[in-house]
Amino acid sequence: MPMNKRMNLTLLAAALVALAVAAGATASSKGTSLSLVAYSTPKPVMAKLIQAWQKTPDGSGVSFTQSYGPSTNQAKAVAAGQPADLVFLSTGDDVNLLVDAGLVNQNWNRQSYDGIAADTVVVFAVRDGNPKHIKSWADLIKPGVQVVTPNPFSSGSAKWNILAAYGAQRRLGKTDKQATAYVQQLFSHVVSQDSSGSNATNTFLSGKGDVLITYESEAINANLQGKNIQYVIPRQTMLIQLPIAVLKNSKNADAANQFIRFVKSVPSQETLVQYGFRPVNPTVAKEAATIKKFPARPGIFKIDDKYIGGWRNADKVWFASGSGRMVKIEQAVSGPTSG
């Protein structure tokens, strides 16, 4: 009996080791592998683009690992050592975080299209039929309106929402103080601040809030997945520019750069349009399909607008930990003061 037991235990141990080795062997990649770290919502379109690229000579044989999450948290994870070859984040602010950590070249935004892969705009997602008639920023602060927007200390989407809210007020003639007061009033209507844009979408879809401030691309993405979200583009809204950049220490920088060029090429930009993103490639922007899909808004302004002053300035004024305006506003409304 003991001999059999010993043999059985040995066989069991051997089987376990074999299993572990087999699992490990299949898990290890052969050939070039690119690590993509991205913000929370573009997973479906990235899957499509990666597939398409892998059919080209440049991309054949290249495997991908992907990680999606709240843009700022993702940037911090990469800064803390999460392996990455390229990042596709939702704000230039988060890429600057990596520049400051020495991981991204400070010329990243001198690449084609200023280092941007795609655009979108800030929109209001509303309930079926828009029962509270939400069309403009002023409607958001009407009594009883409940707003869903993510946590600005972890999510890139949240930052865009706040700057869009502020910028819209400024462009309507309000002073800096008045516009900041508006943002505070807006946040007193906020009923949920999830960590990421996609979590906020989930919260809104699960029944919370009257309006979700989100990316146009995310609303379209939800609709493509059958969720049926109605959305409104306010007259004054912000152009969301989504940056893509290679990491300095990437061992596959060439492949990563090739993929980025691919993302900015005409066929990829057309795919991005299908998935709800506004293209950066001017050829695609002029196509009939694009114009039909994306209503123009004369009131669209960008991050470099004089009232916002670019990401470095916006970060210092609004999102700096401890001293940013959002810290004070969140404290006033009992919201999160960190990611």
Positions touching other proteins (CB under 8 A) are 1-2, 5-6, 13, 16-17, 19-20, 23-24, 26-27, 35, 40, 43, 64-70, 72-73, 76-77, 79-83, 151, 153-154, 191-196, 198-199, 201-203, 205-208, 222, 225, 227, 331, 334-339
- For residue 172 the two structure tokens come to 């309507």
Taking the least distance from each CB to other proteins, the nearer of 154 and 180 is 154
How far lies 127's CA from each of 45, 134, 192, 289, in Å?
A: 25, 10, 16, 27
Least separation in angstroms between residue 309's CB and other proteins is: 24
Nearest residue to 130 via CA among 208, 198, 229, 238: 229
Burial of 295 (0-12, 13-18, 19+ CB in 10 A): exposed
d(CA 124, CA 178): 22
How far lies 292's CA from each of 105, 218, 229, in Å?
A: 37, 18, 19
Half-sphere exposure of 21 (CA within 13 A, CB side): 6
Euclidean distance between the first and final Cα of the chain, in Å?
59
Least separation in angstroms between residue 297's CB and other proteins is: 26
